[in-house]
């Protein structure tokens, strides 16, 4: 295989776990792309619910305690990873989180293998120690940022000596996230599972249950909306945050909308969920590095209401400076979110057929999995071509 025209012979990606999330989704997509081009795709991780999907895409899981921040475990991981690189003839390492990045960086140095990183989120950098800890993510031959907003944040916060940052937006599988591919039976199954009353309209907030994703703000807005015909659905795992889930339920009881709230946990069939919903919400209080929800919603013709900051707001705007493909509100502003939800419900789903088609075309042109994988493989080839 010619390294200048194909994927790496053997790519090793390193990620703490393989549970639901944008970083995990990108990891699997790249593994599948490498396998499709005849390469071998290894993933070092503690594992998780997406491990079977990784295997189905042709990737191989190497179970390793890479999620640990224990210095002794991290040191041991250096030698575990160096051994793995040598025995499996790995020719490029791509790491997606800080703690395993330190081990992977050292192992790559020992073995002389190129090292690439992706900033999947904003890391606390309030003091010199935290900035030093985070700095490992800048030590890659290339550093991938999921949005121009994220790239600007990296430059402003860490002042890298060389500008080796590449912006590669995350992608969604536009064949899977296609309104035409979702059958009425799939939508009916979710409606039944969620016990949605006849005639009710659904507003989704798809995100893991963690405070900065804005579930409490959403509940407050749903209460202020005062629409008995609207059901709010929080799609996402608690991921061990059972106390926060109970706080969400308590807030719904406090505002008297418990009967209008559904918390189904992880939803496997998200295309059907978007098809069933009139609107989807991204209400994160902190800026998203990318923000998958607006892109998935646009691909599915679902009206998107999003906090106007970070990568999520970037994805909703076309490059020509035209109007946003959705409704934006100031982060944390419950009155503005309520007004945006009221406006969304007062207009056709997706803004009408023409607007929905334009939003999907925007996703196809800029945020497809195929595009993300092609750009990432091209970056790998560029790194491997250099001495």
Domain ranges of the chain: 10-171+368-385, 179-366
pTM of the entire predicted model = 0.87
Per-residue pLDDT averaged across 359-364, rounded? Answer: 94
Q: Is the pLDDT of residue 365 over 70?
A: yes
User: Look-up: residue for tokens 């949605």?
Assistant: 196
Per-residue pLDDT averaged across 138-155, rounded? Answer: 92
- Using an 8 Å Cβ cutoff, are 116 and 144 in contact? yes
pLDDT, position 2? 41
Least confident piece of the model among 32-36, 312-316, 359-363, 364-368: 312-316
pLDDT, position 1? 38
- Using an 8 Å Cβ cutoff, are 22 and 365 in contact? no
Six token digits for residue 201: 């309209």
Does 332 or 160 have the greater pLDDT score? 332
Q: Taking every pair of C-alpha atoms in the chain, what is the biggest distance, in angstroms?
A: 64
Given pLDDT bands bounded at 50, 70 and 90, which one contains residue 381? very high
pLDDT, position 5? 43
Least confident piece of the model among 36-40, 62-66, 123-127, 271-275: 123-127
Does 64 or 162 have the greater pLDDT score? 64
Same fold for the pair 10-171+368-385 and 179-366: yes
In CATH, what is the architecture of 10-171+368-385?
3-Layer(aba) Sandwich (3.40)
CATH of domain 179-366: 3.40.50.2000
> φ, ψ for residue 276 (rounded to 5)?
-75, -30
Q: Is the pLDDT of residue 321 over 70?
A: no
| Residue among 293, 208, 193, 283 at smallest CA distance from 245 | 208
Cα gap 169→92, rounded to integer Å: 21
pLDDT, position 134? 86
DSSP state of 123: P
Given pLDDT bands bounded at 50, 70 and 90, which one contains residue 163? confident
User: Look-up: residue for tokens 């890479």?
Assistant: 66
- Using an 8 Å Cβ cutoff, are 295 and 363 in contact? yes
Six token digits for residue 26: 């990108």
Given pLDDT bands bounded at 50, 70 and 90, which one contains residue 320? low
- Using an 8 Å Cβ cutoff, are 34 and 60 in contact? no
Per-residue pLDDT averaged across 225-242, rounded? Answer: 88
> φ, ψ for residue 254 (rounded to 5)?
-60, -40
- Using an 8 Å Cβ cutoff, are 313 and 282 in contact? no
Q: Is the pLDDT of residue 169 over 90?
A: yes
């Amino acid at each position: 295989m010619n390294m200048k025209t194909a994927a790496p012979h053997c790519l090793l990606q390193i990620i703490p776990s393989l549970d639901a999330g944008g970083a995990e989704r990108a990891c699997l997509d790249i593994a599948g792309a490498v396998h499709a081009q005849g390469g071998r795709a290894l993933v070092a991780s503690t594992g998780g619910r997406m491990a079977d999907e990784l295997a189905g895409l042709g990737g191989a899981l190497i179970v390793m305690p890479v999620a640990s921040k224990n210095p002794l475990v991290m040191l041991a991981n250096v030698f575990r990873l160096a051994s793995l690189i040598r025995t499996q003839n790995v020719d490029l390492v791509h790491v997606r989180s800080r703690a395993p990045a330190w081990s992977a960086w050292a192992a790559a140095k020992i073995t002389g293998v190129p090292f690439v990183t992706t900033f999947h989120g904003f890391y606390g950098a309030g003091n010199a120690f935290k900035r030093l800890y985070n700095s490992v993510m800048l030590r890659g031959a290339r550093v991938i940022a999921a949005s121009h907003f994220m790239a600007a944040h990296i430059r402003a916060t860490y002042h890298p000596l060389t500008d080796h940052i590449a912006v590669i937006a995350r992608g969604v599988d536009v064949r899977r996230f296609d309104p035409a591919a979702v059958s009425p039976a799939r939508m009916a199954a979710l409606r039944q599972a969620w016990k949605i009353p006849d005639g009710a309209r659904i507003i989704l907030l798809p995100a893991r249950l963690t405070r900065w994703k804005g579930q409490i703000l959403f509940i407050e807005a749903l209460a202020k909306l005062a629409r008995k015909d609207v059901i709010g659905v929080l799609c996402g795992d608690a991921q061990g945050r059972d106390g926060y889930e109970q706080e969400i339920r308590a807030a719904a009881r406090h505002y008297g909308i418990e009967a209008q709230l559904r918390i189904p946990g992880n939803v496997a069939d998200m295309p059907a969920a978007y098809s069933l919903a009139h609107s989807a919400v991204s209400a994160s209080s902190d800026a998203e590095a990318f923000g998958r929800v607006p892109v998935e919603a646009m691909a599915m013709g679902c009206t998107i209401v999003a906090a106007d900051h970070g990568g999520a707001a970037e994805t909703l705007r076309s490059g020509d400076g035209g109007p946003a493909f959705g409704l934006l509100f100031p982060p944390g502003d419950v009155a503005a979110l309520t007004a945006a939800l009221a406006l969304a419900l007062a207009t056709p789903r997706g803004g009408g057929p023409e607007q929905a088609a334009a939003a999907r075309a925007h996703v196809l042109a800029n945020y497809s999995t195929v595009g993300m994988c092609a750009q990432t493989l091209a970056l790998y080839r560029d790194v491997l071509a250099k001495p």
